[in-house]
Amino acid sequence: MTDRSELLAASDETIEDAMQYASPMVLRGLLYQLTGDESVIDMKPGAAAKFVVGSELADPEDEKLIRKKAADFLKAYRDSGAGELDIGPVERLRTSLSLTAGQQIPEKDFDIWQEETALDRWARGVKWSGGKAPEAAKDYRVAVIGTGISGLNTAVQLKRAGIPFVVFEKNPEVGGSWYENRYPGARVDTPSRGYTHLFAYDYPFNWGYSPRDVNLKYFRWIADNFQIRENIEFSTEVLKMTWDESAKVWTLDTKGPSGAGSQQFNAVISCVGFLSRPQMPDIEGMDSFAGTICHSAAWPDGLDITGKKVAIVGSGASGYQTAPVIGSKAAKTYLFQRQANWLYEDLAYLKELPEQTLWLDRNFPYHANFVRFRVAALVAPGGSGALKVDPEFEDPHAVSPVNKMLRDACVAFVERKLAPRPDLIPRMIPNFPPMASRPIRVDTNESVLDALARGDVELVSDGIDRITPTGIEAGGNSYDLDVIVFATGFRANEYLWPMEVRGKGGKRIEEIWEKDGPRAYLGAMVPDFPNLFMVYGPNSNNFGGFTVVDLLEITGQFAVRAIAGLIENGQASVDVTHEAYWRFADILDKSEEGMVYLDPRANSYYQNGARSSVNGPVDYRRMWRWLKDPAGDPPAETDDGMRPYFKEDLVVT
């Protein structure tokens, strides 16, 4: 029974005030679902229905009316006693979600979109055929590596399914990159409502884009609330994994607080992520520096930059995030930039959510579900013309009409913010199209551009010649420094490194990847490495629609359901065929043709030679269907010859 005491005590004024902070597109779909009021269908979406600018409804009077209708509904619900409220007719839901999304949802894709609402928060878990875990599950052991967003999701799903598991975490706390990245200004650049697990869609984030400490608090809450800590071996690193073909088990060699260890598992799910091992540059004289040197992902405890002379080396997301914060405290701050990156302004990036927004989540039935859905719908599959090269479009700086619109907006932002320093404008405009490297979201009113304009940060575009005991030499100039922060990214294309991973016949996984870099079948499996699954494996940085977390969760679903299938069927191992591995590789490569992130002008971890080992260009809807149920009954026909099922693409023994 949902506690509605807060709503029952609310005044009309409280309800009316809260509605002023609600999304009209959310209210449009939610009201139609709960009431069937067809007048909301005629309310035409505005510019912000698909972009985060402008108004969500074209007519301001419609926005006023939808807020009044929503307030009247909630008052009536309060006055009726605020009892349990059903979601309403399922046959109405596709229209309701279409109204919230601002686009018509095809009937064939409805189940995919419906899952995004989290009306079934456990939709991505295991569903045992007998309704509960079979006895054989008690004797099965799964190793999970990492406690980032993927590792915690996997652990929660295994625990709920009743499958024994151990999680290995190299750090002393959960959180993965959110534990490690504690540099000043660290925060998520994905809306926090979309950076949650499906089963925790209603977690009360009080920021639109949460700072690092808030993200870490969420991860800790997951570990505590779902009782995962008892399954975690902290400060324990997996050094080597070896498959025993005769015994059908993996042996994991580890190093932890008690020294070296070794354990055997029936299956392994690696959730290590690809942005987990810092990339340090090789610069002459680094060892001679007398001050403090650190990577942004390894910020030393107790490092105080107040009154210090600081260099930030690197202009990716971390460098741009931390520069204005360090610049506001340090005596002198230099930003050493090899290549500018595109900045995308957001008025709400540094703002806390209004309390009224959280009040609606607590008191308006299904509001949190429709808000989550709305966030996903803004990055829906098939909707981004900014990512693909249009061969008919001719422009030296952009790859399509939508890409040019995006570029024009980004250039205008730079020109507006750096008006006091016009000399910096050309140095802060990249020489490659938008979206060719990682997009960097910044606040409209306070970002690295403001710090440069104020003089808090000095931009250095010369290459670094050497590091000396007292600082950096670059372009014939010497910069005296106390601290050097390398915001130089990660070893993103070295998947599973530094673990040694050996499959059938002692084969190292790098041997499979010799041809053109890391790949994986559906981002999850590699042939000759049975019962080894990867979540956030190669080509899993989602460019196919919806959020990165969505793709990670359905990949984890694939792994856990495959394991459940082995247990239920009394089978020992599952492996992907070489043919299926390369068939998916061909599909991925075709999907990648014309993607803007392959533009050679961009120096980015998105590229690994002639292809990307990181980004996932395949349409999310295709991935959703392929990753759905590997142990289930295969359909007669599947997309592009893919047969991700036991006894087909997947060999079981």
Q: Are residues 19 and 83 in the same domain?
A: yes
Helix (H) or strand (E) holding 501: strand 500-502
In a domain, 513, yes or no: yes
pLDDT digit string (tens) for 276-301? 899 999 999 999 999 999 999 999 99
Predicted confidence band of residue 348 (pLDDT cuts 50, 70, 90): very high
**Mean pLDDT of the 577-596 span:** 97
pLDDT digit string (tens) for 139-172? 999 999 999 999 999 999 999 999 999 999 999 9
Q: Are residues 522 and 595 in the same domain?
A: yes
pLDDT at 47 over 90: no
114 C-beta neighbours (distance < 10 Å), count: 18
Q: Are residues 198 and 263 in the same domain?
A: yes
Query: Is the backbone peptide bond immediately before 498 cis, with ω within 30 degrees of 0?
Result: yes
Integer Cα distance of 221 and 233 in angstroms: 18
Q: CA nearest 548: which of 181, 52, 189?
A: 189
pLDDT digit string (tens) for 1-23? 789 999 999 999 999 999 999 99
66 C-beta neighbours (distance < 10 Å), count: 26
For the chain, what percent of residues have pLDDT higher than 90?
96
The confidence score (pLDDT) of residue 276 equals 87
**Mean pLDDT of the 464-468 span:** 98
In a domain, 126, yes or no: no
pLDDT at 51 over 80: no
Residue pair 543/615 in contact by the 8 Å Cβ criterion: yes
State how far the alpha carbon of 499 is from the alpha carbons of 415, 494, 521, 576, in Å. 46, 10, 20, 21
In a domain, 482, yes or no: yes
586 C-beta neighbours (distance < 10 Å), count: 11
The domain that holds 544 is classified in CATH as 3.50.50.60
Q: Are residues 401 and 509 in the same domain?
A: no
Using H for helix, E for strand and C for coil, what is the string for 316-336? CHHHHHHHHHHHCCCCEEEEE
The confidence score (pLDDT) of residue 227 equals 98
Residue pair 325/190 in contact by the 8 Å Cβ criterion: no
**Region of residue 171 (left: phi > 0; alpha: psi -120 to 50; beta: else):** beta
pLDDT digit string (tens) for 350-390? 999 999 999 999 999 999 999 999 999 999 998 778 999 99
Domain that holds residue 425: 286-342+388-486
Predicted confidence band of residue 52 (pLDDT cuts 50, 70, 90): low
227 strand-pairing partners: none
**Mean pLDDT of the 495-516 span:** 97
pLDDT digit string (tens) for 544-571? 999 999 999 999 999 999 999 999 999 9
Average confidence score pLDDT of the chain:
96
The confidence score (pLDDT) of residue 362 equals 97
Residue pair 20/71 in contact by the 8 Å Cβ criterion: no
Q: Are residues 633 and 566 in the same domain?
A: yes
Q: Are residues 273 and 300 in the same domain?
A: no
Residue 43's contacts (CB-CB under 8 Å, 6 or more residues apart) are 24, 28, 57, 59, 62, 65, 66
Using H for helix, E for strand and C for coil, what is the string for 3-17? CCHHHHCCCHHHHHH
In a domain, 63, yes or no: yes
Integer Cα distance of 263 and 450 in angstroms: 53
pLDDT digit string (tens) for 492-501? 999 999 999 9
Q: Are residues 430 and 293 in the same domain?
A: yes
Q: Sheet with 309-313: list strands edge to edge.
A: 292-295, 483-486, 309-313, 332-336, 458-460
- Among the candidates 438, 457, 486, a domain finishes at 486
Helix (H) or strand (E) holding 152: helix 149-161
**Mean pLDDT of the 580-587 span:** 98
Helix (H) or strand (E) holding 87: none
245 C-beta neighbours (distance < 10 Å), count: 14
378 C-beta neighbours (distance < 10 Å), count: 19
Using a 10 angstrom Cβ sphere, with 0-12 exposed, 13-18 middle and 19 or more buried, the burial of residue 529 is buried
Angle separating helix axes 90-101 and 24-35, nearest 10 degrees = 170
User: What's the angle, vertex CA 61, arms to CA 60 and CA 65, rounded to 5?
Assistant: 120
Which pair of structure tokens corresponds to residue 535? 């979540």
Question: Which segments of 118-258 are extended strands (E)?
Answer: 142-145, 165-168, 232-233, 237-244, 249-256
The confidence score (pLDDT) of residue 50 equals 58
Place of tokens 């308006």: 364
The confidence score (pLDDT) of residue 1 equals 76
Across 463-487, b (16+ Cβ under 10 Å) vs e yields: ebbebbebbbbbeeeebebbbbbbb
In a domain, 413, yes or no: yes
pLDDT digit string (tens) for 608-640? 999 999 999 999 999 999 999 999 999 998 899
Integer Cα distance of 557 and 124 in angstroms: 6
Q: Are residues 316 and 371 in the same domain?
A: no
Q: Are residues 263 and 143 in the same domain?
A: yes
In a domain, 462, yes or no: yes
Q: Are residues 532 and 616 in the same domain?
A: yes
pLDDT at 54 over 80: no
pLDDT digit string (tens) for 434-459? 999 999 999 999 999 999 999 999 99
Q: Are residues 184 and 230 in the same domain?
A: yes
In a domain, 515, yes or no: yes
Integer Cα distance of 600 and 72 in angstroms: 56
Q: CA nearest 624: which of 520, 523, 529?
A: 523
Residue pair 218/196 in contact by the 8 Å Cβ criterion: yes
In a domain, 117, yes or no: no
Q: Are residues 425 and 303 in the same domain?
A: yes
Predicted confidence band of residue 48 (pLDDT cuts 50, 70, 90): low
- Among the candidates 467, 486, 505, a domain finishes at 486
**Mean pLDDT of the 472-498 span:** 96
State how far the alpha carbon of 1 is from the alpha carbons of 6, 82, 83, in Å. 14, 11, 8
- Among the candidates 436, 467, 486, a domain finishes at 486
pLDDT digit string (tens) for 58-102? 999 999 999 999 999 999 999 999 999 999 999 999 999 999 999
pLDDT digit string (tens) for 170-205? 999 999 999 999 999 999 999 999 999 999 999 999
Number of domains in the chain: 3
